[in-house]
Amino acid sequence: NWSRIKRWYLTMASAFLVLNATFASSSPSGIFAKFSQEFQMMEIESVLTLSLFVTGYCVGPLLWGPLSEQYGRRPVNIYPFFIYAVLSKCFQIAAALAKTTVQILLFRFLGGVFAAAPLTNSGAVISDIWDAETRGKAMALFTLAPFAGPAVGPTVAGFVGDGVSWRWVFWILAIFAFLCWILIIFTMPETYSPIILVQKAKRLRKETSDSRYYAPMERRNLTLAERLKDILAKPFLILFREPMLIALTIYMSFVYGCLYLLFAAYPIVFTDGHHLSEGISGLMFLPIPIGGALSVLLYVTVYNPRYKREAERLIPDPVPPEFRLEVAMISGPIFAASFFWFAWTSSPHISYWAPLMSGLTMGFSISLIFLGLFNYIIDVYIYAAASALASSTVVRSLCGAGFPLFAGSMYRKLGSQWASTLLGFIAPVMVPIPFVFKKYGPWLRSKSHYAPSAPSLPK
């Protein structure tokens, strides 16, 4: 019964939390050269400051996603951010004061573990507060955060590093995290309906002294072993028992890995190749979130009205989840073409404007791919969305952490043209995945252990 204003506020607040986590993940790529010089790091060690933070995303969601389904979204937002921003804001502060490479890498990994809570929890909040008809628009605006954060991070870090000190980048991350924690404490209530019912039942028992009031979740009487299984094993059980989720995760992981690979590739192309400063090289990332914003505009003005018309036409039945896949079907080929564009314009002999503008179509297509697939996962696994997103986030983060590690050697050995072309050749292999689910999704859902009964696309 919340007002639309309150729900939109919670959507924007959730996006802000994700922006914080993803901004922190990529920021060091804007100052690679500076702290590499100070600590005499090898290239692979400087890239690890990015990769280990994203590796923390692999550990965190295994806890935060299932825990949010056991204890609610609010505590799983509050406590990890409390550790990250208040008790463990020393992760970022210690990185700012670090004297050795090992200290920086350790604190970056720990920061990633606790900053990962919003990556699964925020998407689940969106599914809690919006119905299927309006969730698409909310998710469209929300999806900007995972791409705006990584793209803006190197830009801000580059100019802070040039203007003040590279250490101030980490101070800014600590301050940003603390502000997000304050936001959660004072403005974000519980949104998970089973937990809200538990809270209501407890309140009624206390007010009326009537022990008959119990929420369905309270009657489960799970043992400690069963709770641990739910918390630790559920994401993997969903992933390995669901062919749909496996395929969607592979696609999103490749796209996400390519996005983070660019944080290692762009300095090679623009700083080394075109001899731009770190601050100016950071600006080269901006077309990616601009392209993402354009995709959101298209989604809200063109696709979402189509979804509403379909919802009205099918009343009283819901719109089949496969309807969500259309935007991913369109954007897949654009993503593959973007890498060929970037590949064959990244030579130092060609104006940097040419590879720069490929970021527009890259950001446009990445955003639409994630919009389509995220919404599909939430629609299919509605009551287990947090665990499904958690398992997907773990695998996706492994690719986000791993791709930058081989980017430097790959781009230097193959050259920027052929390295990007290789990715361009792999991308079309992923394109058929949403097409397959558009056709066979209803049958696969009927065999699912976790997807509730849902209609098929009308013929």
Pairwise pLDDT comparison (331 vs 204), residue with the higher score: 331
Q: CB of 243 within 8 A of CB of 116?
A: no
Tens of pLDDT, residue by residue over 93-117, are 666 566 677 777 887 888 888 888 8
DSSP string over 223-288? -HHHHHIIIIIHHHHHHHH-HHHHHHHHHHHHHHHHHHHHHHHHIIIIIIIT---HHHHHHTTTHH
Residue 158's closest CA among 27, 19, 266?
27
Residue 298 confidence (pLDDT) above 60: yes
Residue 262's closest CA among 233, 228, 229, 289?
289
Q: Where are the domains of the chain?
A: 4-203+225-446
Name the class of domain 4-203+225-446: mainly alpha
The encoded tokens of residue 326 equal 């259309």
Q: CB of 130 within 8 A of CB of 4?
A: no
Residue 134: which residues within 8 A CB-CB, separation 6 or more?
none
Cα separation values, 403 from 5, 157, 242, 409, 410, Å: 40, 21, 25, 11, 10
Produce one character per residue of 61-85: b if its CB has 16 or more CB atoms within 10 Å, e if not. Answer: bbbbbbbbbbbbbbebbbbbbbbbb
Q: For residues 211 and 421, what is the distance between their CA atoms, to the nearest angstrom?
A: 66
Q: What angle, rounded to 10 degrees, do the helices at 234-241 and 243-266 form? A: 100
Binned at pLDDT 50, 70 and 90, residue 325 comes out as very high
Of 7-16, 148-157, 181-190, 330-339, least confident by mean pLDDT is 148-157
Residue 429 confidence (pLDDT) above 90: yes
Q: What angle do CA 410, 414, 416 make, to 5 degrees?
A: 85
Q: CB of 115 within 8 A of CB of 21?
A: yes
Residue 362 confidence (pLDDT) above 90: yes
Q: For residues 437 and 103, what is the distance between their CA atoms, to the nearest angstrom?
A: 45
pTM: 0.79
Pairwise pLDDT comparison (148 vs 132), residue with the higher score: 148
Q: CB of 41 within 8 A of CB of 35?
A: yes
Confidence (pLDDT) at 94: 63
Q: CB of 372 within 8 A of CB of 326?
A: yes
DSSP-assigned letter for residue 344:
T
H helix intervals, 27-166: 32-39, 43-71, 73-81, 90-97, 101-115, 117-129, 132-163
The encoded tokens of residue 201 equal 């039942």
Cα separation values, 24 from 89, 156, 175, 380, 403, Å: 12, 11, 11, 31, 18
Tens of pLDDT, residue by residue over 216-261, are 776 776 666 776 666 677 778 888 888 889 999 999 999 999 988 8
Q: For residues 324 and 377, what is the distance between their CA atoms, to the nearest angstrom?
A: 9
Confidence (pLDDT) at 91: 57
Residue 426 confidence (pLDDT) above 50: yes
The predicted model gives 118-123 an average pLDDT of 79
The encoded tokens of residue 277 equal 């400063």
Residue 337 confidence (pLDDT) above 70: yes
DSSP-assigned letter for residue 384:
G
DSSP-assigned letter for residue 100:
S
Confidence (pLDDT) at 131: 80
The kind and range of the H/E element at 184 are helix 167-187
